[in-house]
Amino acid sequence: MYKVKGAVKPPDRSRGDAELREIAFQRIVALMSMETVIVDALGEKGIREMVAAFYRRVPNDDLIGPMYPSDDWEGSEERLADFLLFRFGVSDEYTHKRGHPRLRMRHMPFSIGEAERDRWLQLMGEAMTEVGLEGEAHETLKAFFAQVADFMRNRAD
């Protein structure tokens, strides 16, 4: 490994290798559980319906609507659906078409602060409700979207 200051934090060797492997395993299990909960509740069809419900709201939204290309609504919808299907282990179509997600890089051209994040989450929450997502799957997906939307922020408010 090359030593570049600040580039890579070495593993905490105060813990034993077995303990580190167990922590990594538990993280993988948690991620797989999240994926299973969401895919079991929605499946590919439900994920696509949820994304379509979201995109029915976006064009008329005064805050985030202008961020989307007005001549490519279908493409935007397809990219989000493909990304979610990739993220939840249903399909690798997204990576075949677009490569690594690089979400922050792809969203850098847009000024995204707290208001934009919150509006995106509001519209996606409405879409989740429209497709009847509830219970553990709703809460799990809501938490996932909140984390990702916050990560997309590139402007201090």
Distance CA 36, CA 32 (A): 6
pLDDT tens for each residue of 143-157: 999 999 998 898 888
pLDDT tens for each residue of 36-90: 889 989 999 999 999 999 999 999 999 999 998 889 899 899 999 999 999 988 9
Structural domains of the chain in order of their starting residue, each with its CATH number:
17-152 (1.10.490.10)
| pTM: predicted TM-score of the whole model, two decimal places | 0.76
Distance CA 58, CA 60 (A): 6
% the chain with pLDDT above 70: 80
Distance CA 123, CA 126 (A): 5
Distance CA 45, CA 43 (A): 6
DSSP letter (8 states) at residue 157: -
